[in-house]
Amino acid sequence: MRRNHSIRRRLTLAAALMISVALILAGLALATMFSHQLRRMAENELADRAITLMSGLDPNAPLREPAGTIGGDPRYLQPYSGFYWRIRVADRTYRSESLWDATLPLAAAPPRGESRVTTGPGPDGQELIILDQTLLLGPDEVETRVSVAVNRATQVEAQGLFARSLVPFLIVLGLVLVGASVLQVAVGLRPFRQIGSRIDDLNAGRLPRLGQDMPDEVRPLAEAVNRLLDDREARIEKARNRSSDLAHTLKTPLQALFGETGRLRDAGQGKAADAIEEIVEMIQSRIDHELGRERISGKGISNPVVVVRKVAAVLRRTARGSEITIGQEVAPQDIRVDPHDLTEIIGSLAENAMRHARSRVHIWTEADTATLSVCIRDDGAGIPEGQLNTVTRRGVRLLQDPEGTGLGLALAQEIVDANGGTLALENRDDGFCVKVTFAKADDIPLKSAVHRHRP
């Protein structure tokens, strides 16, 4: 099973996880703070009610009616209303009518002059918050214990309402934060997409290097890639030079061997001379092939109009130049292939066409939205169908062309491959056609005009 190595997905998932955890903790913290605030407000309200209740106390006189002692709040008269009080003065005990036949769950009295807030069960299954305090009243300092209680149901209901309002808000906030995180990740990873695009341009020959106009965090990577490309090109150039030096060094002794075959033939040793010539030709063929390969660039932009004109001019000065008609219909569209490579390709293919043509060679271009093809057709006999798939292999010779080295189409195929193009062979009723196709240069559109040249 393939593991997911997407940086974007991992960063997004990590952000979503951290945002979720943070929002959950924030929600719990807000709910706790709200609960504490409600509790504090309830305690303050009980303290105010206790003060109001004590303001009507006279330890030497009968207690006023309950409604009057708590600001006239009628809930202290309703049974089990959730609002209760109890007062004990010396040995006398008074309580609100709302307690009915129940009592407040009071613990031991707090020390004199102090108050205590507790919770406990109340009438009718209620959960109460109880403020209990002990104080001394009057000149005689009569010990008085005042207890005021309220039902926690209102507080619990407020907590639930707050939580129900908070959860949707946190969900929406989480979605907004995750969306912002996705956008942040996309913006942060954009330089990597830029590097990928520039690497594609490097492969296509549109850029020589990645460049330095990148964010500070990505620039070291670009510089490392540039250094790698510099080192690679230096190594390739060094290897090409060594290969070229070796090939040129071997040419002189090979020419000497050809001279020896002549002397052997003069001495009556024709078979030995033929065998040596065959071996020398194979070595010479290999050297020519390597010299052709070392000239392959694989980068650049060229105009087929210019190249075809130059090749045609050279072909007209060859031995068959006066016998063969060379026609041209080439569009002025730049394509992504090195000019020297394109000259090598068209020159090799056109030379083959001149060798096999009866009377005419025609060169033209065909284009679609993304590519341009250079077609070379001769009116010769063509290639046997059985050899179409093998003729581009190095060293393969046509049966009807025993004088060839088998390098022309093979070398053309290698150069086309190095420039990211394709090469196709086709037998037609009017002769044999070779088509090489390359990508168009993006910055130069295909023009409608076609350059025609007729001899």
Q: Over the stretch 182-232, which tens digit does the pLDDT of each residue have?
A: 999 888 888 888 877 877 777 766 677 777 777 777 788 888 888 888 888
Say whether pTM exceeds 0.85: no
- Six-digit token string for 227: 């250094």
Three-class secondary structure of residue 53 per DSSP: helix
Contact call for residues 331 and 372 (beta carbons, < 8 A): yes
The answer to whether residues 304 and 406 belong to one domain is yes
The answer to whether residues 210 and 153 belong to one domain is no
The answer to whether residues 133 and 20 belong to one domain is yes
The answer to whether residues 55 and 99 belong to one domain is yes
- With b meaning 16 or more CB within 10 Å and e meaning fewer, what string describes 261-298? beebbeeeeeeebeebbeebeeebbbbebebbebebee
The answer to whether residues 311 and 419 belong to one domain is yes
Residue 163 maps to a domain: no
Domain boundary among 157, 179, 195: 157
Q: Burial level of 439, CB count in 10 A (0-12/13-18/19+)?
A: middle
Residue 165 maps to a domain: no
The type of residue at 98 is: S
The answer to whether residues 317 and 418 belong to one domain is yes
Pairing verdict, β 360-367 and 325-330:
parallel
Q: What is the pLDDT along the chain (455 residues), one digit of tens a residue?
A: 455 578 888 888 999 999 999 999 999 999 999 999 998 998 888 888 888 877 766 656 555 544 445 556 788 888 888 888 888 887 778 888 888 888 888 888 888 878 888 888 888 888 898 899 888 776 777 788 888 999 988 888 888 899 999 999 999 999 999 999 999 988 888 888 887 787 777 776 667 777 777 777 778 888 888 888 888 878 877 877 777 777 667 767 777 777 777 777 777 777 777 777 777 777 776 676 566 655 555 567 888 999 999 888 888 888 788 888 999 999 888 888 888 888 888 988 998 889 889 899 999 999 888 899 999 999 888 887 777 776 766 544 444 444 444 456 777 888 888 888 899 888 888 789 999 999 888 644 433 334 444 44
Residue 70 maps to a domain: yes
Domain boundary among 262, 294, 326: 294
Residue 421 maps to a domain: yes
Pairing verdict, β 142-151 and 127-137:
antiparallel
Contacting residues for 437 by C-beta, under 8 A, at least 6 apart: 371, 372, 373, 374, 421, 422, 423, 424
Alpha helices in 316-370 (DSSP H): 339-356
Per-residue pLDDT tens over the stretch 316-331: 888 788 888 999 999 8
CATH number of the domain within which 332 lies: 3.30.565.10
The answer to whether residues 232 and 267 belong to one domain is yes
Q: How many CB atoms lie within 10 A of CB 136?
A: 12
The answer to whether residues 414 and 324 belong to one domain is yes
Give the structural domain span for 114. Answer: 7-157
The answer to whether residues 269 and 310 belong to one domain is no
Domain boundary among 266, 294, 322: 294
Number of domains in the chain: 3
The type of residue at 221 is: L
The answer to whether residues 79 and 108 belong to one domain is yes
The answer to whether residues 252 and 335 belong to one domain is no
